[in-house]
Homo-oligomer: A and B are copies of this chain.
Amino acid sequence: MCTAITLKTKDFYFGRTLDLERSYGEEVVVTPRKYPFEFRNGKSLKTHYAIIGTACIRDGYPLYYDAVNEKGLCMAGLNFVGNAFYCERSASKPNIAQFEFIPYILGKCSDTDEAEREIRKINLWNTSYSKELPVAELHWIIADAKRTITVEFVRDGLKIYENEVGVLTNNPTFDIQMFNLNNYMSLSPESPQNNFCRRISLVPYSLGMGAMGLPGDTSSQSRFIRAAFTKLNSVSGNSEEESVNRFFHVLGNVQQTRGNCKAGDDFEITVYTSCCNASKGLYYYTTYDNHCISAVALQNENLDGEILRRYPHKKSEKIDLLN
């Protein structure tokens, strides 16, 4: 499962955790403007906005998990098993496969409003990348510095929600996730008042008791609440270092530790955590095996090229020995 958040300080930040029981060979991949996106529907995008994000590459094609384009438009796909519903090939609308959805939108659109209009025009087609890679059941968070939306293709059709909390996890549908937050409205970073009975002496015996009731497990509903509470109450300065630091702290609250969440015979872990400064095209990440933050700068690449630039994720603990 996964958790995505947005964060606005001086710049706009966007990122996510990817929680899986295994790695598929994640890399930071820069797609320059002239890398040709050939779509399954026979059309292609010869030139487009440059994109940076984490992807797995199959046959030279970047299967993006989360990405940001040079205009600052951000998009991530998160598991939505049992609820996602894609359609058969449409005769009237452009057919976009699930695995083409991020390149298509980030390649063409400069902001969330444009993305929304584009999404309303297309048919999300239920064709798979290959026999080995079946159609992933996903929903998406799309954001720029001004507006964040959640996009769900369900049995009822396309649902686009304003995402005012800037959080997405997995099941259930976004409207239920948001409704459920009402149940936690009294939670607070401050110490609790004695509302139980004033005649009885009840006292906080610890700091932090005002958030008692916040769920601590790794289910998608609990991560949604926890990520929302942690993020909405987090504070930091506006600098790049402070913003990135805060972003990783917030997502650290929804990380998955190996052994704590059984997935078949294995365990889910937070394979990687990303944080992109969408305003500047700076893509930061950590992996389960490396607490140290790595970074790739979009602006340090030749954006007019035709060839994918690949930076395989760092997967060993970079330890700073001081003596």
A28 interface residue (CB < 8 Å to B): yes
Q: A207-B263, A218-B208, A296-B323 are known contacts. Are A186 and B195 too (CB-CB below 8 A)?
A: yes
A45 interface residue (CB < 8 Å to B): no
List chain B residues, Cβ under 8 A from A309: 323
When the two chains form their complex, are residues B232 and A200 in contact, meaning their CB atoms are under 8 A apart? yes
A241 interface residue (CB < 8 Å to B): yes
Which parts of A301-323 form the interface with B (CB within 8 Å)?
A: 301, 309, 311, 314, 316-323
Interface mask (A196-213 → B, CB under 8 Å = 1, otherwise 0) = 110111111111111111
Query: What's the least CB distance linking A218 to chain B, in Å?
Result: 4
A157 interface residue (CB < 8 Å to B): no
CB contact between A181 and one of B200, B211, B223, B262 (< 8 Å): that residue? B200
Interface mask (A288-300 → B, CB under 8 Å = 1, otherwise 0) = 1101111111001
A41 interface residue (CB < 8 Å to B): no
List chain B residues, Cβ under 8 A from A172: 179, 205
List chain B residues, Cβ under 8 A from A219: 206-209, 211-212
A170 interface residue (CB < 8 Å to B): yes
List chain B residues, Cβ under 8 A from A205: 82, 171-172, 179, 182, 220
Q: A205-B171, A208-B217 are known contacts. Are A259 and B286 too (CB-CB below 8 A)?
A: no
A183 interface residue (CB < 8 Å to B): yes
List chain B residues, Cβ under 8 A from A320: 292-295, 314, 318
List chain B residues, Cβ under 8 A from A23: none
CA gap between A190 and B266 in the complex, in Å: 11
Q: List 11 A-B contacts (CB under 8 A).
A: A28-B322, A185-B202, A186-B195, A206-B221, A207-B268, A208-B261, A233-B259, A246-B257, A297-B321, A311-B322, A318-B320
Known: A186-B194, A210-B262, A249-B257. 4 other contacts (CB 8 A): A171-B206, A179-B205, A213-B213, A295-B322
Chain A positions within 8 Å of B, measured between CB atoms, are 1, 28, 82, 164-165, 170-172, 176, 179, 181-197, 199-223, 225-226, 228-230, 232-236, 241, 244-246, 248-250, 252-253, 255-263, 267-268, 284, 286, 288-289, 291-297, 300-301, 309, 311, 314, 316-323
